[in-house]
Structures are given as structure tokens and as C-alpha cells.
């Protein structure tokens, strides 16, 4: 009888029971010394339900459950849990098919030694019995698959499956359970020990293992060039060669060589051709609106090679740059004139004011910035206005040394040689000892620059530059000994209206070239202001040209005197050192002759000799030749007198 298995199975898996008794559920009799509470179940009876055609298929089995506990309540609690676990259950438990369980009765007892309470519950189990149970006992165990009638397991090997055979109607071992399980075992393969990355290739009826070449997959013409290095095809290259280099193709107007766009054009600017630069320039669209007026209304003489005239309605531009190369014996003069107003028909050069004169033969290209400076400046550039740049060829000016060449030293406050581009003097102003070179303006001493530099203070000559080209510049570095050229109160020192250098005896003023000069002929423009020995030029020893106002002396060995002079007279002295045939003259007149020796001036000074006999008066020009210029005396003195009006 296996109903006890079902009983144990039910109670041991019911938490309500096991919470109280754990696993202390014993068939028939409890373990010795079992702890309380515990349960003992005992078979009371088995009553088969009889049938007329075979063994009984339902047994009614009666069990008694004795719930032991130390207290009455505990015994009752266990009994309640047992009844709850068993009453009216059905199912298969531990292989026993329980159709139903019926509670029958309950009682409670007390035992002594030890004192315990036991609640006794009675249940009737209805147990179903099938053919296996009937045949084998309950339950069926130890039966094997092959013992079944419809199963044939003969010849079955490890891992082999069985399959239903519809012909025999049995489950039998499946066919071919021992087939190939590797690739090499197949009949259509020929595989040697493969290396990594080899592939299976079909070759003449067999699959063989081998590396795959690029030709194997139809890529024989492919090489392993990176994308960046891939060449282009010949056809592509030919096509590319026919294309233009976009980097060299002008993409903007300003890229064109004959276009000049300055900055970012303003709205409505136009592109205008500029004949001066032979290029197009961006200009406001009003620019050159009156081109015809500019060209047709400009004064006819002198020729206006550049015109700019502007009014509120626009402007007019005319440019016809003339030659920069003068014809023989001529010089090119370019000048800028200004008029406050638009250019009108009938305007003549006399209607304009000369505002700038360029140096002779100044090239047109050298004039443009000056012209544009006037045009854009506030002084002359306030519309309406007109600017003219004239061009004309005039007879070349022949300065004194252009005609009478070969001077050894030439000091003057006018320009003596056209090729001379230096300054006249270097001036120091008294207030702060600042120095500045002052040159010429239109061939004459630039008194405007001098006045600007010395304004309010005295100016003194530090250096009188040699215009001969021989750099015999005469200098005085001691400030108190420098002759004066500008008075802070009265302005430029002058003689008969021409700038003059004032030598002051008390101040020991003089200038020195610092070297020697061998004088053949000399011409000086001076005015002596006081008596006493006043040296015009002097050297070491008794070599000099000097005067005391009434007598002029020329000496190298013995004095050649020219008497009858007057203090304060304007003198143009001519001296010729020619031994016994030396000559001395003044104001173009009488010549004294005699032996003045030769004019070897060691330690050449202007205004003194041997730190003595300092000059008193003014000087404006000293021209020295090493040669005998007596034949040119008239011409030279004429040139000088024309400028200074001495006699």
C-alpha cells in the first residue's frame, strides 16, 4: 500500500503543517525522543471497491493522524492544519492517484510520562488504481522503453534517435545514424591541412582548400593603391588638361590687371578709365561727368596737362600727360594753379592762383601725389574748385657756375649751379640750439623756411655749404662765433633786400672749411660795416682778402691794395692771385695790379684769419677758382651784379 507516500507527500509540502512540525511527520510510530509537536499517521483499513470483471480500481483507505504536542492548544492547532491540508484534496502525489480525501472524525487524548496531548484525526482516502498499478503494484517502477509492444530498440547505439516506422507500426532506430560529420570525409572534397584564411574553391570536380588570388575573383587588374594615390585615367587626364586653372582665372573685377578698385566701392560708383594710369578706377558715377568741360574750357596757355574741376553736380577730369624729356636748351616746368570755382568757358591762367611749382624737369609721375594732395586737402579741395597742372618748356636757366664752371668753392645765398641739389646754409636757432638746413626756392634763398624755423628767436649760420661740388663747406661749431642770418625781432638779415650773413667782430664770428684752398681768382659780395681790419677770407699767416672799409687788401706775400673805398659800401670784389701780375678790383671798376703772390690758403676761413681780424659786416657770396678767371671777370661780375644790383 502506497497511500502513505501520498499522505507524506501532501503533509510535508504543506507550509501550514511544516510551520508547526517541520519534517517531524512519521508513519506508524514516532522517532525515539522526537521533539514536539509531531505527527504520526497510521493505516487503519483498506476497503477495495469490488467489480465483476477484474481487479478493483478504487480503494478506500482509512488513516488515523495523531498530532502530539505538549499543550492542548498546540495539539489542536496541529490538528487544524492537518485537516486543512488533507480534507477534500485530489491529484497524484508521489505517484499515487488520489481521487479524494474525506475527513471522518477527531478526538483528543492526554498521555502521561511524559505528559502530552494528542489530537487524533481520521480520514478516508479514495485511491484510484490503473492497469500499471494493478499489474506492477503501485506505482509502476523499473519498466523500460523496449518492453513496450510498439517499440523496437534493437541495435540502437549511443546518441541514436528512434523514429516511427509506419510500415511496421513500431518506433525503431533511425537510419544512418553513423554518417560523416567532417568536411574532409565528403567524397567531393580534397582538403589538405588548411592554413588560416584559406577558402574552399571548386576545382575540376572537387572542392579544394587554397588562398584566393585577385584573378580568382575576376579582379586581376586591381592593385592595392589607396584612394588618395589612385591615378586618373588617360582620358580623364586629357579632359583635365583642357580645363582652365580656376585659381588663375579672374573671378572679380579687381583681379583684372587694368582695373584698380580701391577699398570697398560705395554704392553707385562707376568704373572710369584713367589715362594717367591707363587703367580703370572705381569712382563715383558723378566722376568725370563734365569731362568735356574740363578739356574744352581749360586755359589754352600754358598747356594744362591735368585738370580737375568739381562742383555739386559732379566733376570733370582731363589728363594728357606731356613729355618728361626737355628739348635741348630747355627745361620743363610744371606748376599747379587753383581757382575757387568750376572751370568756365573763357577762363585764362590769370584767373588762377599759382600754388605750387615743381622742380625743373620734374617727371609727370612725380607730380601726381602733390596734385592729388591739393585735390583731397582742405585748403584747395573745398568744392567748387578747379586745379590745373600746367606744362611748358622754357629756356634753361644758366646759373653762374653753369656758365663759368670749375669753381673750387662757392658760397652763396642764391643757387649758383643748376645741378646743385644741396642747401644753402645750416642754421642754428638760439632758443634751443636746434639746427636745420635751409635751401632755395626758385633759385633764391628760402627765407620762408628760415622764418618758419627761427620764428621768435635769432638764427645763426653753422655751415655755409659749398655749391661747387668740392664739399669745402665752411662751418663754425661754437655758437657764439656763428654769424647771424635771422633776428628774432626784425627777421631775415638782408643787404639791399637780399638775404645776407652778418659777421660780428665782437663775437669773433667766422666759418672754416677746415682745410686748405689754393685760390687763383675770387669774387666776393660783402658790405663792411665798420673800420678796422675786417677779413673777408683768410688763411694761415698773412694770406687774406680784407678791408678796413677804405682800403681793400689782397695779400699772400705783400699787400696789393685798392684804396678809395667807403665804409658801408656794397662791394663786389674781384681778386686774382697771379704773382707780380695779381689784380684787385671792386664794383666792376678800377683794377690795382701788383704782386700779391699766390693764394695758398692754409686753414681757410671766411670772416677771419689766424683767429684775428674778424669781419664786421655782411657777406652774400664768395666764389673761388683755382684758375685765372680774369678773362671771365666781366661775365661773372655781370651775373653777380644782375642779381645783387651792386653797382
Q: Which of 22, 44, 405, 612 binds other proteins (CB under 8 A)?
A: 612
Closest-CA residue to 609 (of 523, 503, 521)? 503
Nearer to other proteins, 505 or 586 (CB): 505
Asked if residue 290 lies in contact with residue 309, where contact means CB atoms within 8 angstroms, the answer is yes
Nearer to other proteins, 235 or 506 (CB): 506
Strands, E, within 162-244: which ranges?
162-165, 170-173, 189-190, 199-203, 206-210
Nearer to other proteins, 18 or 507 (CB): 507
Segment interacting with other proteins (CB under 8 A) among 118-126, 207-215, 235-243, 612-620: 612-620
Least Å distance, CB 614 to other proteins, is 7
505 binds other proteins (CB under 8 A): yes
DSSP sequence for 26-84: EESSPPTTPPSSEEEEEEEEEEE---SSSS-SEEEEEEEEEEEESSHHHHHHHHHHHHH
Ordered strands of the 151-152 beta sheet: 151-152, 170-173, 162-165
Asked if residue 60 lies in contact with residue 98, where contact means CB atoms within 8 angstroms, the answer is no
Site for other proteins in 91-120 (CB under 8 A): none
Segment interacting with other proteins (CB under 8 A) among 109-117, 383-391, 478-486, 622-630: 478-486
Burial class (CB in 10 A: 0-12, 13-18, 19+), 243: exposed
553 binds other proteins (CB under 8 A): yes
Asked if residue 540 lies in contact with residue 602, where contact means CB atoms within 8 angstroms, the answer is yes
Asked if residue 621 lies in contact with residue 495, where contact means CB atoms within 8 angstroms, the answer is no
480 binds other proteins (CB under 8 A): yes
433 binds other proteins (CB under 8 A): yes
455 binds other proteins (CB under 8 A): no
306 binds other proteins (CB under 8 A): no
Nearer to other proteins, 517 or 596 (CB): 596
Task: At 176, list the grid cell.
Answer: 544512418
Nearer to other proteins, 506 or 580 (CB): 506
- Cα separation, 170 vs 149, whole angstroms: 8
3-state secondary structure 484-537: EEEECCCEECEECCEECEEECHHHCCCEECCCCEEECEEEEEEEECCCCCEEEE
Segment interacting with other proteins (CB under 8 A) among 21-29, 77-85, 139-147, 431-439: 431-439
508 binds other proteins (CB under 8 A): yes
Segment interacting with other proteins (CB under 8 A) among 123-131, 210-218, 329-337, 432-440: 432-440
- Cα separation, 2 vs 61, whole angstroms: 10
Judged by DSSP in three states, 563 sits in: coil
Least Å distance, CB 459 to other proteins, is 13
Q: Which of 92, 192, 206, 558 binds other proteins (CB under 8 A)?
A: 558
- Using the CB atoms, write b or e for 185-223: b if 16+ within 10 Å: eeeeeebeeeeeeeeeeeeeeeebbeeeeeeeeeeeeee
506 binds other proteins (CB under 8 A): yes
Q: Which of 430, 451, 567, 591 binds other proteins (CB under 8 A)?
A: 430
34 binds other proteins (CB under 8 A): no
Segment interacting with other proteins (CB under 8 A) among 197-205, 220-228, 286-294, 550-558: 550-558
Segment interacting with other proteins (CB under 8 A) among 34-42, 111-119, 217-225, 611-619: 611-619
- Cα separation, 259 vs 537, whole angstroms: 63
C-beta atoms surrounding 309 within 10 Å: 26
Site for other proteins in 381-400 (CB under 8 A): none
534 binds other proteins (CB under 8 A): no
Q: Which of 211, 382, 434, 627 binds other proteins (CB under 8 A)?
A: 434
Ordered strands of the 199-203 beta sheet: 189-190, 206-210, 199-203
Least Å distance, CB 558 to other proteins, is 7
Segment interacting with other proteins (CB under 8 A) among 94-102, 143-151, 404-412, 428-436: 428-436
Nearer to other proteins, 469 or 541 (CB): 541
Nearer to other proteins, 100 or 475 (CB): 475
Least Å distance, CB 616 to other proteins, is 11
Segment interacting with other proteins (CB under 8 A) among 23-31, 173-181, 292-300, 427-435: 427-435
Least Å distance, CB 591 to other proteins, is 20
550 binds other proteins (CB under 8 A): no
Nearer to other proteins, 37 or 483 (CB): 483
Nearer to other proteins, 238 or 611 (CB): 611
542 binds other proteins (CB under 8 A): yes
Closest-CA residue to 108 (of 84, 135, 74)? 74
- Cα separation, 480 vs 436, whole angstroms: 17
Site for other proteins in 307-326 (CB under 8 A): none
- Cα separation, 624 vs 519, whole angstroms: 6
Asked if residue 268 lies in contact with residue 285, where contact means CB atoms within 8 angstroms, the answer is yes
Least Å distance, CB 504 to other proteins, is 8
**127 beta partners:** 59, 98
Per rule CB under 8 A, count of chain residues that contact other proteins: 26
Nearer to other proteins, 64 or 437 (CB): 437
H or E stretch including 447?
A: helix 447-454
H or E stretch including 95?
A: none
Write out the residues near other proteins by the rule CB under 8 A.
Answer: 430-435, 477-481, 505-508, 533, 542, 553, 555, 558-559, 610-614
Amino acid at each position: 500500500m502506497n497511500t502513505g507516500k501520498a499522505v507524506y507527500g501532501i503533509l510535508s509540502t504543506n507550509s501550514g503543517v511544516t510551520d508547526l512540525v517541520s519534517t517531524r511527520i512519521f508513519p506508524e510510530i514516532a522517532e525515539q525522543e522526537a521533539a514536539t509537536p509531531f505527527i504520526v499517521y497510521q493505516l487503519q483499513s483498506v476497503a477495495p471497491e469490488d467489480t465483476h470483471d477484474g481487479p478493483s480500481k478504487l480503494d478506500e483507505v482509512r488513516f488515523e493522524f495523531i498530532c502530539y504536542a505538549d499543550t492542548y492548544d498546540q495539539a489542536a492547532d496541529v490538528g487544524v492544519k492537518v485537516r486543512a491540508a488533507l480534507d477534500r484534496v485530489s491529484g497524484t502525489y508521489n505517484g499515487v492517484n488520489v481521487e479524494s480525501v474525506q475527513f471522518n472524525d477527531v478526538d483528543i487524548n492526554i498521555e502521561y510520562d511524559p505528559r502530552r496531548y494528542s489530537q487524533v484525526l481520521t480520514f478516508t482516502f479514495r485511491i484510484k488504481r490503473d492497469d500499471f498499478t494493478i499489474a506492477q503494484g503501485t506505482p509502476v517502477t523499473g519498466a523500460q522503453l523496449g518492453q513496450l509492444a510498439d517499440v523496437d530498440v534493437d541495435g540502437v547505439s549511443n546518441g541514436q534517435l528512434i523514429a516511427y516506422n509506419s510500415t511496421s507500426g513500431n518506433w525503431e532506430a533511425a537510419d544512418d545514424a553513423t554518417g560523416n560529420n567532417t568536411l574532409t570525409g565528403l567524397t567531393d572534397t580534397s582538403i589538405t591541412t588548411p592554413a588560416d584564411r584559406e577558402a574552399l574553391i571548386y576545382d575540376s570536380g572537387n572542392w579544394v582548400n587554397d588562398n584566393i588570388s585577385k584573378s580568382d575573383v575576376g579582379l586581376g587588374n586591381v592593385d592595392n593603391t589607396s584612394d588618395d594615390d589612385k591615378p586618373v585615367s588617360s582620358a580623364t587626364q586629357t579632359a583635365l588638361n583642357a580645363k582652365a586653372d580656376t585659381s588663375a582665372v579672374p573671378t572679380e573685377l579687381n583681379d583684372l590687371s587694368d582695373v584698380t578698385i580701391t577699398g570697398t566701392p560705395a554704392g553707385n560708383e562707376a568704373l572710369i578709365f584713367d589715362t594717367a594710369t591707363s587703367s580703370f578706377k572705381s569712382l563715383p558715377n558723378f566722376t568725370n561727368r563734365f569731362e568735356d568741360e574740363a578739356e574744352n574750357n581749360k586755359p589754352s596757355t600754358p598747356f594744362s596737362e591735368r585738370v580737375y574741376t568739381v562742383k555739386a553736380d559732379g566733376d570733370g577730369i582731363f589728363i594728357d600727360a606731356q613729355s618728361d624729356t626737355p628739348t635741348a636748351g630747355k627745361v620743363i616746368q610744371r606748376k599747379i594753379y587753383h581757382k575757387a570755382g568750376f572751370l568756365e568757358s573763357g577762363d585764362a591762367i590769370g584767373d588762377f592762383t599759382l600754388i605750387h611749382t615743381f622742380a625743373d624737369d620734374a617727371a609727370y609721375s612725380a607730380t601726381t601725389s602733390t596734385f592729388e594732395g591739393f585735390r583731397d586737402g582742405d585748403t584747395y579741395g573745398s568744392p567748387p574748385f578747379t586745379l590745373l597742372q600746367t606744362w611748358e618748356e622754357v629756356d634753361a636757366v644758366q646759373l653762374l657756375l653753369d656758365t663759368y664752371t670749375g669753381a673750387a668753392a662757392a658760397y652763396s645765398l642764391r643757387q649758383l649751379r643748376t645741378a646743385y641739389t644741396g642747401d644753402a646754409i645750416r642754421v642754428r636757432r638760439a632758443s634751443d640750439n636746434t639746427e636745420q638746413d635751409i635751401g632755395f626756392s626758385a633759385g633764391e634763398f628760402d627765407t620762408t623756411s628760415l622764418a618758419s624755423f627761427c620764428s621768435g628767436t635769432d638764427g645763426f649760420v653753422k655751415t655755409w655749404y659749398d655749391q661747387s661740388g668740392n664739399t669745402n663747406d665752411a662751418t663754425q661749431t661754437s655758437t657764439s662765433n656763428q654769424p647771424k642770418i635771422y633776428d628774432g625781432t626784425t627777421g631775415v638779415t638782408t643787404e639791399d633786400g637780399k638775404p645776407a650773413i652778418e659777421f660780428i667782430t665782437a663775437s669773433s664770428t667766422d666759418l672754416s672749411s677746415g682745410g686748405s684752398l689754393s685760390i687763383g681768382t675770387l669774387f666776393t659780395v660783402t658790405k663792411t660795416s665798420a673800420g678796422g681790419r675786417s677779413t673777408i677770407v683768410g688763411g694761415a699767416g698773412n694770406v687774406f682778402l680784407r678791408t678796413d672799409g677804405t682800403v681793400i687788401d689782397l695779400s699772400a706775400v705783400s699787400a696789393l691794395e685798392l684804396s678809395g673805398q667807403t665804409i658801408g659800401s656794397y662791394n663786389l670784389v674781384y681778386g686774382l692771385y697771379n704773382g707780380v701780375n695779381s689784380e684787385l678790383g671792386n664794383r666792376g671798376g678800377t683794377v690795382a695790379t701788383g704782386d700779391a703772390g699766390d693764394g695758398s690758403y692754409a686753414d681757410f676761413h671766411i670772416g677771419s684769419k689766424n683767429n684775428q681780424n674778424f669781419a664786421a659786416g655782411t657777406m652774400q657770396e664768395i666764389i673761388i677758382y683755382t684758375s685765372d678767371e680774369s678773362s671771365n671777370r666781366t661775365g661773372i661780375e655781370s651775373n653777380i651784379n644782375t642779381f645783387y644790383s651792386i653797382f
